Amino acid sequence: MSDDPKLALIVSDSAKAQAGAVALRDAHSWVSPADADVLVVLGGDGFLLHVLHEMLDWDFVKPVYGMNLGTVGFLMNGQHNHVPITRRIAEANRVPVRPLCMYAKTQDGREFSYYAINEVSLLRETRQTAKLEVRINGRVRMEELAGDGILVATPVGSTAYNLSANGPILPLGSRMLALTPLSPFRPRRWKGAILPESAEVEFRIHEPGKRPVAAVADQKEVRDVSTVRITATAEKELTLLFDPGYTLEERIFAEQFQV
């Protein structure tokens, strides 16, 4: 990155983010996202994920520096308006994030592919439990998992839905994935698994007509799936920027020691 990077400002539609952007717009010269070296995103976690997903569909991938003008802000930095934005970016730590790619095939033969930055989840659509076969790298590891579903989470997503489902928190840079069941009925005591990021995970739905299952890649849903295959992709690796002492890794540590 150059000493004087070109910056693009992307702001959520929320009143809080729009108000916070007023002073920042006047404090720096901004360029379009396509011409920028770094994207500065104002809003909350949901808006940052939206921008990251949009970037995966663009012809370019740029480092992203988020400023929390939302609610939780787990993936964001604080405001600290007294420090120039160029200095904050120059001193920021870089965190690589590899998204998942979900390939889903429906019962009627249609095929879909979507990226997920947090997780891919399979969820039962009716009162009937879902019944899934679990394959890792082409090998059947579990012939039948019965329950509400299952998810595959990245390290970034391991503190989101995965954590609420009692899945493990994964350190950043671990290059691991969390495979976490959702309210498992059979086998009752199976708590999931930690997989290398290189693993290809595949689910096949048993009795899909009677027990329909939806697959969700972050916010993108495909209903009535028959098979779902999930891989991590290095070609679309993203980069998040964090202030020193305010890193995502530190927040992941904090999550593990909450009492």
13 classed as catalytic: no
The percent of the chain in helix, strand and coil, each rounded to the nearest 5, is 20, 40, 40
3-class DSSP state of 226:
strand
Bridge partner residues of 94 (DSSP): 241
Return the closest-CA partner of residue 53 out of 176, 219, 198: 219
Strands (E), 52-175: 64-68, 93-97, 100-106, 111-116, 119-124, 130-136, 139-153
What gap in Å lies between CA 225 and CA 120, rounded to an integer?
A: 13
Q: Which of 45, 108, 224, 243 is catalytic?
A: 45
Judging by DSSP bridges, how do beta strands 238-242 and 93-97 pair with one another? antiparallel
Q: Residues forming the annotated binding site?
A: 45-46, 50, 118-119, 148, 156, 159-164
Q: What radius of gyration, in Å, describes the C-alpha atoms of the chain?
A: 20
Annotated binding site for NAD(+): 45-46, 50, 118-119, 148, 156, 159-164
SS3 211: coil
Angle at 72 (CA atoms; ends 239, 37), nearest 5 degrees: 25
Beta strands in the chain (DSSP E): 7-11, 38-43, 64-68, 93-97, 100-106, 111-116, 119-124, 130-136, 139-153, 176-186, 193-196, 201-205, 213-217, 220-222, 225-232, 238-242
Active-site amino acid positions: 45
